[in-house]
Amino acid sequence: MVRTLALIGSGNIGGAVARLAVAAGVDVILSNARGPESLADLVAELGERSRAATPVQAAQAGDLVVATIPMHAYRQLPASALAGKTVIDTMNYYPDRDGRIPELEAGTLTSSALVQQHLADSRVVKAFNNIDFRRLFTLARPVGDPDRSALPISGDDRDAKAEVADLLDTLGYDSVDIGSLADSWRSQPGTPVYVQPYFPFSTPTDLSQEAIYRWYLQTPGVPIPAEQVRRLADAAARTAVDDSGATSAHG
């Protein structure tokens, strides 16, 4: 089991992962672009198993590192400090937020393959990108629970994927290996396994933004077992990048 989990980016997904990790007895190191002092409230909430650092310090100290920042900022990940590390990439490409990234627009690379190019000396594994932060936190269940959910993972290094699968197991999830980084598009926004399966029904369209957000926070998740995640990932068809991903729901 990982002893120290470092997070580069501590927003919605990062905060959910950190809360699950601390609850599972894992030490966490939080970081973001604004500096350690901006994380004082989250550290106070998480307690003695957490501390704040700079992204470089977090990268150096973590046994396993979660990169959970907007995709347009992926080049800010400290490649030298992350050398030799397994890096979990939670990032999704949303053109309306990230701007147009030519390699992703052309479909020549997946977003995770682009991150792997930047982190050439690291082992990148895609995970946590297909579920929103609220369901990620509330659907976690112990091993053997009949309502345990699964999440897809993808990567090019077998040992790194095993390391990430072990972390997911610790945090309360089964994992489904959907292939290499070139296959990671199967869990990107707009695919069958992205976000919606973990909800009991579709997002209402006749409510105000405030009411939709309230609904979003209060709606319980639906357990999605490994075999269903596998079927949904296998059913994915590669299409043009979808601009409509709910960036606030994930990031």
- Phi and psi (nearest 5°) for 141? -140, 155
Report the C-alpha gap between 138 and 147 in whole angstroms: 12
* Residues spanned by the domain of 237: 4-250
pLDDT at residue 8 is higher than 50 = yes
**DSSP labels, the chain:** --SEEEEE--SHHHHHHHHHHHHTT-EEEEE-TT-GGGGHHHHHHH-TTEEE--HHHHHHH-SEEEE-S-GGGGGGS-HHHHTT-EEEE-----HHHH---HHHHHTSS-HHHHHHHHTTTSEEEE-S-SS-HHHHHHS---TT-TT--EEEEEES-HHHHHHHHHHHHHHT-EEEE--SGGGGGGGSTTSTTSSGGGSSSPPPSSS-HHHHHHHHHHSPP----HHHHHHHHHT----SPPTT--HHHH-
- Which residue type does 56 have? V
Mutual angle of helices 12-23 and 158-171, in 10-degree steps? 70
Report the C-alpha gap between 95 and 43 in whole angstroms: 32
pLDDT score at 130: 98
- Which residue type does 143 have? V
CA atoms within 13 A on the CB side of 160: 25
Q: What is the pLDDT of residues 88-139, one digit of tens each?
A: 999 999 999 999 999 899 888 999 999 999 999 999 999 999 999 999 999 9
- Which residue type does 180 have? S
Q: What is the pLDDT of residues 70-85, one digit of tens each?
A: 999 999 999 999 999 9
Distance from the Cα of residue 138 to its chain's centroid: 15
Return the residue matching tokens 């966490």: 28
pLDDT band at 202; cut points 50, 70, 90: confident
Total domains present in the chain: 1
Q: Hey, what are 231's tokens?
A: 């079927």
For residue 47, the domain's CATH number is 3.40.50.720
pLDDT score at 251: 54
pLDDT at residue 69 is higher than 90 = yes
Q: What is the pLDDT of residues 22-60, one digit of tens each?
A: 999 999 999 999 999 999 999 999 999 999 999 999 999
Q: What is the pLDDT of residues 51-60, one digit of tens each?
A: 999 999 999 9
Q: Which of 12, 203, 179, 176 is nearest to 91 (CA)?
A: 12
Beta bridge partners of 123: 86
Note whether 175 and 169 are within 8 A (CB).
yes
